[in-house]
Amino acid sequence: MQFAVIGLGVFGRACAFELQRQGNEVLGIDMDDREVSKVSGELSHAVIADATDKETIKELNLSQFDGIMVSIGDNLEASLLCTLNLINLPAKNLWVKAKTDAHHAILDSLGIENIIHPEQDMGIRIAQAMNYPMMKQYLALGGEEYLVRIDVHPNFTPQTIAKIRNSHPTTSLVLLIHQGEMIRVFNDDRAVQPGDRLVFIGRLEDLKRLAKYFRRH
């Protein structure tokens, strides 16, 4: 798949490198030659270009890409101009980093569905990880539903999934258990062991109670 990342600051580089690591072809774009030089040896392609210019956007053929991330930093005008240019292409699977609530509101009014607040989102995730250290890798599914990985404490007393489910009837099913090198689909008779990694789906409040259970037992 082909992806483009516009704006190669810390967040943009991290996004571009991860997309590349996952086996995709990635184009990095920035106006600053110093930022482009930081990724030129790592990404499939990296170019110095002004994404606020309509003709430049057309020449890069970004309408053919599978997804585009606009990660322009503090320059609100540049971010919005770039986003408008991409909307007019039209671009597929467009993601935009918002710096402020006002920036978010404008992007929302333009119909952008995928708006990210990296600092805010990361702050929330770190606070959750500090408070519930057993819970890893949150994935919001909409509303109050989350997909969460819980790492079982080394001192956990082995017990069956049926017992855990009976203790937490409002929490949805365990989808997978990662035991050592094996990934297994759950069944009620399987015993959860210390060091296992479990995948749960459910409401956030239920999952928090479940994380506390694994910490206590």
pLDDT at 132: 55
Distance CA 213, CA 2 (A): 43
Residue 6 scores a pLDDT above 90: yes
| Domain edges within the chain | 2-116, 121-216
How wide is the angle at C-alpha 136 spanned by C-alphas 131 and 141, nearest 5°? 105
User: How much is the pLDDT for 86?
Assistant: 94
DSSP code per residue over 44-98? SEEEE--TTSHHHHHHTTGGGSSEEEE---S-HHHHHHHHHHHHHTTPSSEEEE-
Q: Give 87's pLDDT tier (boundaries 50, 70, 90).
A: very high
**pTM of the shown model:** 0.66
For the segment 169-205, what is each residue's pLDDT rounded down to a tens digit? 766 666 667 766 667 666 677 778 887 887 877 777 7
Helix, strand, coil percentages (3-state) for the chain, rounded to 5, are 40, 30, 35
Which CATH superfamily does the domain covering 2-116 fall into? NAD(P)-binding Rossmann-like Domain (3.40.50.720)
Task: Look at residue 133 and tell me whether its pLDDT is greater than 60.
Answer: no
pLDDT of residue 135 exceeding 60, the answer is no
Q: What are the phi and psi torsion angles at 78 (to 5°)? A: -65, -40
**Lowest-confidence pick of 6-10, 62-66, 168-172:** 168-172
Are the CB atoms for 66 and 93 separated by under 8 Å?
Answer: yes
CATH architecture of 121-216: 2-Layer Sandwich (3.30)
Distance of CA 213 to the CA centre of its chain: 27
In angstroms, the CA 50 to CA 55 distance is: 10
CA distance 6 to 109: 21
Comparing 99 with 95, the larger pLDDT belongs to 95
The pLDDT tens digits of the residues spanning 150-170 come to: 787 777 888 887 887 777 776
How far is the C-alpha of 217 from the C-alpha of 212, rounded, in Å? 9
Whole-number average pLDDT of the chain:
81
Say which residue, 73 or 103, is predicted with more confidence.
Answer: 103
Cα separation of the two ends of the chain: 44
Q: Average pLDDT in the 13-18 region?
A: 89
